Structure formats: structure tokens, C-alpha cells
Amino acid sequence: MTSVNSTGFYKAVKSRRYAYDSEQVARLLVQVDEGRVDALAQALSAYIRANLPATINRRSGLGDYRTNPYVLVASATLMGLSDPKKFADFLFNNKLYMGLETSFGKSIEAVVGQYPVSGAKWQDPPEKVAESAALAGLSQEEKARRRTVSVWREVDKSCVAGNRRYLVGVKSGPNDINDTQVEAMKEAIANHHAAWMQETRRNHPSVTELDIVLGITYGTDSTTNNKENQILVKLLEHGFEEEDRERKPGVLIESQAKRVRVYRRVGQEFWSFIGNPANPANSAFVYLEVLLALARALSQGMKTGSLEESVNRKIVQLTQSLQKLMLPPQSLPDWIRNSFSTDELFWLTTAMTAFFDEGI
């Protein structure tokens, strides 16, 4: 395999900086379409009504709130979480945040389907839908084996505009790609881009070019964990080259036919791309439409259910469970009883929940 000089690649793709400018935001808000915001808000509101209560209620016992016991003890010490009620609040809010992050990540994919602003909308690739349907009826173990040879697994949405097809893999945030995913996504693009193009030409004879986009829904070029850039650099060893570092930093092109491109889009640029993949500059306002729709949807969704009551009930359950965990002092060896404070023993018993399935 030929070595490729990628020196300076990271610096080039991370060079752009975003500075908040209220006047610029105001100019973009003028371009926001109220009807689109309402449609997005209704879709998100329906999703929130269906999924937010489920996110809160699906955990029943203390075992469902288990977390890293070592970080838990450190956090409890630093935050002074010696009271069961405070500890319950901490556990609940920590898991609620993570649950909402996952849930809203999925809802954002539904939002993508409302765009582009004009023309054919983003959709699940038909090839991926067919591939998934072929797994119906198989056992979980067999599905896992078959997924290792999946061709379309890493592609989330597809759109055709003019003579170009766009395939995008959507990640919720700037730290959502890990090392394992880097390798999986690199392998998928390196091994399957030709098949993606072949299937595209078969189903869309007018399409002559294919863009493969790594999309991150918030953040900026300089705030990602760099994993999406690692994918691009690794592809330089697998048949891709930089198209033009000066004018198109971070854009790779297939070295032979030069019909397949790979690049990333982060935050504002991601939503501009979703709004108009052929000409993102004309859709710089789309991220504001999404945020406005989310704010309206949350307002509508929160009025339809007694979420506060559900939250309070869960925290009371957690508090009671934590209190029941306390070890009777007389059951402890003298050296532990004399050396560890009540708070420290409380943190000990709470951390132990990570090691049990039942009785917690």
C-alpha cells in the first residue's frame, strides 16, 4: 500500500472558526419559513409526546440507574452527595440526560426527512431498507452475523439532486464517533463506495456522481473529537485523494474515475447541506428553523402530559431504594466501622449496585 502524505490535513479542515454575530443571526431569521417551522414542530411534538414519558418511565428499580461505580464515588465525593434524596436527583438527572440525548438523536433523523427545502426529500436508502427486510425472521445471533457483511449499514439517509446522489451518515454530536466506528465507517466507504455508485446508477440513470457525507448535527469544525477526520485520513490510503486542499479543504475524491467524493459537515454546515445539498450556501438558515421548531415542540409536548409528576415519583422511588441499601453498622468489621464515615459507607453501598442484577 502506497503511503500518502496527509501532513496539514487536520489543520486545514479545522481552520474555520464560527463567531456569534447577532446581526448575522437576525438576517438569517428573516429567511426562516414559518410554515416549515410549524410542520417540523408538529412532527417533533408528536415524537416528544410518545417518547419523552417512555424515557422517564422505562427505568423502574435502582438497577436500571447503574453507572460507572468508580466515577460515581468520585462524583459523590466532589459534589457532597451524602443525602439519599440528593443522590437520587443526581442519578436520575444523569440517566435522563443520556436517555434524552439518544432519543433526540433519533428525532433529529426524522427532522432531516423534512428537507431539502425544495425537491426530493431525504429518505432511508431503498437499498438499506431492502437489506434490512432480508433479515426479518432471523435469530438475533444470525442477524448479528449477517450485519458484518452489510453493504448499507453505515448510510442513514439518501437524496438525489440533479446529476448527483448524496448519502449521509448522521451522528448526533461532535463526540459521538468512537475508534471502533472510525474503522467501521472507513471500511464501509473503502469497500462499498463502488457498489453504492453501481446501485445508484441502476436506480437513477441520470446520476453520474456520488457524494458520501459524514454529518454531525451540532458543534463546529474545531470542537469535534477529530474521529470524522480520522476516517477521511484513513481513506487517503484506500483509493481516495484530496480534491483541492486550498479551495475545498477536507473533500476527498476517488482517485480513478473521480466521480465519488467524501467529506464531513458539522453543525451549521450540516444543516445548510441538509437544506440544500446542491447549494448549501442558500440554506444557511436551516439550523435556526430546527431550533425554533424544537422550542415550539417542547412547549407543545410539555403541556400534554404530567411529566413533572412522573419525574418526582421516580426520584422518590430511587431515594427509598438508596435508603434500603444502607449496611447496618453492627454488621461491619470494627476497622471499617471505625475508619469510614457514614457518608463514605453510603457511597460504597451505592457504588456496589453496579455489580448486581437483583436485590437492588
DSSP state, residue 329 = G
Mean pLDDT over 24-45 rounds to: 92
Whole-number Å distance between alpha carbons of 200 and 192:
12
Q: How far apart are CA 169 and CA 287, in angstroms?
A: 18
**Cα 113 off chain centre by:** 16
3-17, 187-201, 207-221: range with lowest mean pLDDT: 3-17
Question: What are the pLDDT digits (tens) for 256-308?
Answer: 999 999 999 999 999 999 999 999 999 999 999 999 998 888 776 565 555 66
Rounded-to-integer distance, Cα 114 and Cα 352, Å: 46
**CB of 291 closer than 8 Å to CB of 283:** no
**Domains of the chain, with CATH numbers?**
1-21+157-275 (3.40.1560), 32-118+281-360 (1.10.3250.10)
User: Does residue 2 carry a pLDDT above 50?
Assistant: no
- Could you tell me the three cell numbers for 195? 457498489
Determine whether 20 is exposed, middle or buried from the number of CB atoms within 10 Å of its CB (0-12, 13-18, 19+): exposed
> pLDDT tens digits, residue range 42-73?
888 888 777 777 777 777 777 778 778 888 88
CA distance 233 to 47: 37
Q: Are 165 and 204 contacting, i.e. CB atoms less than 8 angstroms apart? A: yes
Element (H, E) at 346: helix 342-351
Q: Is residue 116 reached through a cis peptide bond, with omega within 30 degrees of 0 on the bond before it?
A: yes
